[in-house]
Amino acid sequence: MSELSVVGKALVRTDGLRKATAQVTYGVDFKLPGMLYGKLLRSPYPHARIISIDTSQAEALPGVKAVVTGKDSPEGLFGSRINDQPPLAREKVRYIGEPVAAVAAVNEATAEKALGLIRVEYEEITPVFDPKEAMRPGAPIIHADLGKYQASPIFCHPVPGTNIMNYMKIRHGNVEMGFAQADFIFEDTFTTPAQHHCCLEPHAAVGQVGLDGKATVWTSTQGPYKVRTESASALSMPPSRVRVIATQVGGGFGAKGRAKLEPHCVLLSRKSGRPVKIVLTRHEVFTATSTRHPSVIRIKTGVKSDGTILAREVEVILDTGAYSESGEIVCWEIGQGAAGPYQIPNVKVDAYAVYTNKVPAGPMRGFGWPQIMWASESQIDIIAHKLGLDPLEVRLRNALEEGSVSATGEVMHSVGLKECLREAAAAIGWDDQRPPNRGRGIACLTKMSVPFLPSSAFVKINEDGRVGLLTSAVDIGQGSDTVLAQICAEDLGVGLSDIEVAVPDTDTTPPDMGVIASRITFHVGNAVRLAAADARQQVLALAADMLEASPEDLLLADGKVFVRGSPDRALSLAQVSTAAFFQKGGPILGRGSFLDEDVVPTDPDTGQSPKPCPYWKYGATAVEVEVDPETGVIKVLKLASAHDCGRAINPLLLNGQIEGGALTGLAYALWEEVVFDGGRITNPSFMEYRIPSTVEAPNISPIIVEAEHHAGPFGAKGAGEASTIGVAAAVGNALFDAVKVRIKDLPLTWEKVLAALEKKADDDRKEA
Amino acid sequence: MGWRGVRLQSQHLDIAPNTVGFGHTPVLPAHNGYIPVALRGPMTHALCLTVNGEALEFSVEPHLTLLDLIRDHVELTGCRRGCDSGYCGACTVLLNGKAVHSCSVLAVAADGAHVLTVEGLVRDGRLHPVQQAFIEHGAIQCGYCTPGMILSSVALLKENPQPSEPEVRAYLSGNLCRCTGYVRIVQAVLAAAESMREERA
Ligand code: FES
Ligand code: FES
């Protein structure tokens, strides 16, 4: 590739100055004249029929301007790929915290008071909280209409008449034969808890509906178009009658990818005739938005005595809570990767997403892969220790590489896994001698990208030669405004500061499927390149006229068009774009749309596809820990996180992504768990659900590995989620290395470590 | 109805809000919307406050928090509500030079005080060295924690111009960030300390 001037550089983020000085407007800050404040009345029961709702007293309270219930949106259902959720409960409620009614009033206190005046009569139904129980015949059915819901046939295979919202399977080779040939067979069951996103900015939205019925929503969202589609679906409106504008977003991590309170703002505004703002309290964010999926994962692996993996059989049960909330696609993805990033000739996977009467589990940084990699990579370690092999060597022996065939029948490309393993191991001194109670652990990670998510971009050359970049990618902190601007600047031969990135707005910026699945750099980046190429070609055509040269002889660099070989025959971009304005009557407007066209839907019976997704990410996490045998506390001394990101468009921002994701992964490993008592969350505050602060967080070493992808913009893949994925297994493996106890249930709390140490001491005594 | 009861209760448990932030000075626990019976009613208090150098007068209800006052009345949105219960630090301001969680300070308790928010850090169009370092070192992602983080760092460097890394980490422990993993935040504070020392020299 020729010299690049903007791409690949560690440039500071373009919105840093505004954020350091608080010149940004988050969802919680947004205000309109005459605005009302909304509050949601939520179900106190996990599963109950709604007999009646009496809102008369609430409506009579001075200051209350509107009260809405399920009757105000009698039909529409929404969801990500399966529409199973009403904006306000209709006949029944399915989790504690489900919205039942909403109030808009002149201030929050009045709205809150009005909630207390709404009388709801419920009749309780037997709830079910455990996904395995929910799968048994005779379990209470949470969605009687499961078979009637509108669902994507590519990703969703619900089992009507049960609580199985999605079922996916992989059949590759013949596992029975593989097990028969194996020298050893291992079978283990691992579990993971719910984890919470903990965006520091709570969910917030403002809705305004005119008398003409058009709704405008300003919201702290990762996916303006997704919110538009889902809100329209929930309210039975045409999508283009809902305009969604993204505010600044104070953290997303998956929690803000979909409609949450936007439909309620619209309903309340429609009824009151005034703009309505809803901001969730921290308690509501914890109890009534979404979590990472809890899971139970059973893995059976057959290996030869040299560590070669011959067969793997995996059963995954995801607790998806009361509504799908993207659980269908988490299930689909987790199934794809259940065998791990290895060359295994025989694979069988059955993955289920199961409804329970709990707050919906949804997408969260890593999207199912932290769960599956915890299980898969812990077991690889168990195997290595049993066979007396180096865990690093076992991984390197089986790891995918360029040209390997995956468990879903794909010939793999852009696979930097082995290099990541070697680099992460080296960074913590893999082979160093360690004192007692210290240990090292490593784990691979992989994650697929979600297929069939188109992106588009417009590039507008202003009359001053500066470039407007219009996409619907929201910079939620990951730095996409900067990265996309770098790509655009590179292709148009201008500087980063010459690019103005537009605010995502579904009335003006082009469609996009949202800041999810680490897809922005790849998908939107490709769309930006196409749009920039389109604009560039228009610039060159016009400049060719003006310079009386042929377009092929022109170069575009440093904000100028010039004739190859004679740099003084040149025009500034401003001159060309001004000419376009005044001679052609319009700006130069480039357009680009990208879809991973070569992706083939997986076979529903075998999960096989020559190309199930646009690209795969790979990486490895290595840690060194010290375990205090008296307290059971695991202290992480070193954490190295290596990532094959294809190509780093901006290493400074990429390293920030790796570090942030790794800490979320470490929190998942050691501390965080949303605790349920039946359907009720018992730790819904930052006091009870502790996220790591500066004192708990270790220093993290990010490592960038570049295995360029032929379809990526400048070879880049995605980066946002990967580093969260492999941490838990690396820590669990290091725990074993340090004190020889294996824990199969996250998080690895000091209580569990102590109990395991005591049990081990007992067992050792008995043996002696 | 049980639901709302739950919400109020769990917020009430957080009555010792200033125990988290090492660098945060206890002032008065706020009651987060709960008004003790004795305080109910339309009683208001006169209050003088200097905010970012400007003397302001207010008449406030006794349960109003400093956070509410700054966000809703002074309309400085750099002071952010993250949890409203003293645990996240997004609402950090400097109260007479000390970093406090403004959600956990009653406005009336700040009568006569000097309040500095992130909006007041820029002098003559020049960023504070801590702000500059946060930008340059990639210490900002979503930016929601950033103002609080910057203000706590400013307070730290005033108390201790040459902090070690563990001292920085200890001092900032009352400011949560979910995005960055803190690596670059700590680097930025150490770099700012360095550049402020050079400026003084
Ligand atoms: S809002 Fe004050 S500490 Fe969280
Ligand atoms: S930058 Fe997002 S919370 Fe710190």
Would you say the CATH fold of A453-594 matches that of A295-450+601-767? yes
CA angle, A716 then A722 then A728, to 5°? 160
Architecture of domain A295-450+601-767: 2-Layer Sandwich (3.30)
Residue B97 burial (CB count, 10 A)? 13
pLDDT tens digits for range A543-596: 999 999 999 999 999 999 999 988 889 999 999 999 999 888 889 999 999 998
Distance CA A68, CA A594 (A): 41
Chain A residues touching B186 at Cβ < 8 A: 694
The two three-digit tokens of residue B175, written as one number:
């400011």
B24 lines ligand 1 (CB under 6 A): no
Of B77, B85, B150, the CB nearest to A282: B85
Under a CB-based contact definition with an 8 Å cutoff, are residues A299 and A190 in contact?
yes
- What integer best gives the mean pLDDT of chain B? 84
Distance CA A666, CA A190 (A): 17
B89 lines ligand 1 (CB under 6 A): yes
Substitution target from A654, A693, A727 for chain B, most B beta carbons within 10 A: A693
Helix (H/G/I), strand (E/B), else coil: A146: helix
Report, as an integer, the average pLDDT of A51-73.
Answer: 98
| Share in percent of chain B as helix, strand, coil (round to 5) | 40, 15, 45
CA angle, A559 then A562 then A563, to 5°? 165
Extents of the domains making up chain B: 9-117, 129-196
Nearest alpha-carbon partner for A476 in A250, A280, A224, A226 = A250
Cβ of B142 within 8 Å of Cβ of A687? The answer is no
Distance CA A421, CA A587 (A): 49
Distance CA A681, CA A649 (A): 41
Under a CB-based contact definition with an 8 Å cutoff, are residues B25 and B102 in contact?
no
Chain A residues touching B81 at Cβ < 8 A: 28, 202
CATH number, domain B9-117, options 3.40.50.300, 3.10.20.30, 3.40.50.740, 3.30.2010.10: 3.10.20.30
Q: Which of A13, A26, A200 to mutate to test the pocket of ligand 2 (most atoms within 8 A of CB)?
A: A200
Distance CA A204, CA B82 (A): 12
Chain B residues touching A44 at Cβ < 8 A: 1-3
- What integer best gives the mean pLDDT of chain A? 97
Cβ of B1 within 8 Å of Cβ of A120? The answer is yes
Of B4, B135, B185, the CB nearest to A116: B4
Distance CA A650, CA A59 (A): 54
Distance CA A25, CA A204 (A): 12
What interhelical angle do B146-159 and B129-136 show, nearest 10? 130
Q: Are strands A616-627 and A438-448 parallel, antiparallel or unpaired?
A: antiparallel
DSSP H helical ranges for A338-389: 369-387
Residue A376 burial (CB count, 10 A)? 28
pLDDT bin (cut points 50, 70, 90) of residue B27 is very low
Distance CA B163, CA B169 (A): 10
pLDDT bin (cut points 50, 70, 90) of residue B14 is very low
Q: Going by C-beta distance under 8 Å and a sequence separation of 6 or more, which residues neighbour residue A148? A: none
Class assignment of domain A27-127+203-279? alpha beta
Q: Are strands B114-116 and B45-51 parallel, antiparallel or unpaired?
A: parallel
| B51 touching chain A per CB within 8 A | no
Helix (H/G/I), strand (E/B), else coil: A576: helix
Q: Going by C-beta distance under 8 Å and a sequence separation of 6 or more, which residues neighbour residue B70? A: B51, B76, B79, B93, B102, B115, B117
B21 lines ligand 1 (CB under 6 A): no
Distance CA A618, CA A644 (A): 5
Residue A532 reports pLDDT greater than 90: yes
Q: What are phi and psi of A410, to 5 degrees?
A: -100, 140
Report, as an integer, the average pLDDT of A357-376.
Answer: 97
Residue B40 reports pLDDT greater than 60: no
- For the CA of B87, the closest atom of ligand 1 is 3
pLDDT tens digits for range B107-128: 999 999 999 999 999 999 999 9
pLDDT at A2: 62
pLDDT bin (cut points 50, 70, 90) of residue A228 is very high
pLDDT bin (cut points 50, 70, 90) of residue A719 is confident
pLDDT at B41: 55
Of B1, B121, B176, the CB nearest to A200: B176
- For the CA of B67, the closest atom of ligand 1 is 2
pLDDT at A276: 98
The two three-digit tokens of residue A725, written as one number:
């994925």
Residue B158 reports pLDDT greater than 70: yes
Report, as an integer, the average pLDDT of B148-166.
Answer: 98
Chain A residues touching B1 at Cβ < 8 A: 41, 44, 115-116, 118, 120
The two three-digit tokens of residue A121, written as one number:
């009569």
Task: Please give the residue of chain A at the shortest CA–CA distance from B76.
Answer: A22
Task: Please give the residue of chain A at the shortest CA–CA distance from B133.
Answer: A20
Question: What amino acid occupies position A488?
Answer: C
The two three-digit tokens of residue A667, written as one number:
């929190």
What residue ranges line ligand 2, CB within 6 angstroms? Answer: A 200, 251, 477; B 140-146, 177-180
Q: Which residues 147-186 of chain B have a CB within 8 Å of chain A?
A: 147, 150, 168-170, 172-186
Distance CA A601, CA A238 (A): 28
Alpha carbon distance, N-terminus to C-terminus of chain B: 63
Q: Going by C-beta distance under 8 Å and a sequence separation of 6 or more, which residues neighbour residue B195? A: B129, B132, B133
Question: What amino acid occupies position A443?
Answer: A
Under a CB-based contact definition with an 8 Å cutoff, are residues A201 and A226 in contact?
no
Work out the minimum CA distance from A705 to partner chain B, whole angstroms.
20
Question: Lowest-pLDDT range, A190-194, B8-12, B65-69, B133-137?
Answer: B8-12
Residue A400 reports pLDDT greater than 70: yes
Under a CB-based contact definition with an 8 Å cutoff, are residues A580 and A544 in contact?
no
pLDDT at B43: 81
Q: How far is the CA of A385 from the centre of ligand 1 (A)?
A: 46
Chain B residues touching A201 at Cβ < 8 A: 80, 82, 142, 144
pLDDT tens digits for range A164-179: 999 999 999 999 999 9
Domain B129-196 homologous superfamily, CATH: [2Fe-2S]-binding domain (1.10.150.120)
Architecture of domain A453-594: 2-Layer Sandwich (3.30)
Sign of CA dihedral A711, A712, A717, A720: negative
- For the CA of B81, the closest atom of ligand 1 is 1
Distance CA A253, CA A259 (A): 15
Distance CA A161, CA A174 (A): 31
Q: Going by C-beta distance under 8 Å and a sequence separation of 6 or more, which residues neighbour residue A592? A: A456, A457, A458, A459, A526, A527, A528, A529, A530, A531, A532, A533, A534
Q: Which residue has the tokens 């626990």?
A: B29
Task: Please give the residue of chain B at the shortest CA–CA distance from A683.
Answer: B10
pLDDT at A759: 97
Sign of CA dihedral B139, B140, B141, B143: positive
Report, as an integer, the average pLDDT of A650-666.
Answer: 98
Q: Going by C-beta distance under 8 Å and a sequence separation of 6 or more, which residues neighbour residue A242? A: A214, A215, A216, A217, A228, A231, A232, A235, A266, A506
Nearest alpha-carbon partner for A256 in A27, A590, A527 = A27
Substitution target from A19, A247, A287, A481 for chain B, most B beta carbons within 10 A: A19
pLDDT tens digits for range A190-225: 999 999 999 999 999 999 999 999 999 999 999 999
Nearest alpha-carbon partner for A129 in A266, A310, A299, A321 = A321
pLDDT bin (cut points 50, 70, 90) of residue B35 is very low
Provide, rounded to the nearest whole percent, the portion of chain A with pLDDT above 90: 96
pLDDT at B28: 38
Q: Which residues pair with A618 in a beta bridge?
A: A446, A644
Q: Going by C-beta distance under 8 Å and a sequence separation of 6 or more, which residues neighbour residue B66? A: B93, B95, B100, B102, B103, B105, B106, B107, B109, B110, B115
Task: Please give the residue of chain A at the shortest CA–CA distance from B77.
Answer: A29
Extents of the domains making up chain A: 27-127+203-279, 295-450+601-767, 453-594
